[in-house]
Amino acid sequence: MESVNDDGNDVSSPKHDCEAAGTLQFVAVYGAPGVGQAWTCTTCGRDWSRVGGTFWPADQGVHILNIEDVR
């Protein structure tokens, strides 16, 4: 079964690959310098986090530290 929204468009995958499309725009540095960066896609508006040299969708929370991460 396919995932579709009310207008019939497929919602199971993004309409484009933000990284491959080269549409990510730098927003800010967070944490200590070199720790993390906030980026956003200029096409779809999706927020991204760059942690450890890898881009992650911000909604996955990879950029959010837990107390165990800093002990």
Convert the pLDDT of each residue in 4-54 to its tens digit. 445 555 555 557 888 887 899 999 988 777 788 999 999 999 999 998 888
CA–centroid distance for 71 within its chain? 26
Task: Report CA-CA distances (Å) from 48 to 6, 12, 34, 44.
Answer: 27, 19, 16, 11
CA 35/CA 65 separation, integer angstroms: 11
Domain segments of the chain as ranges: 18-64
Q: What is the pTM of this model?
A: 0.65
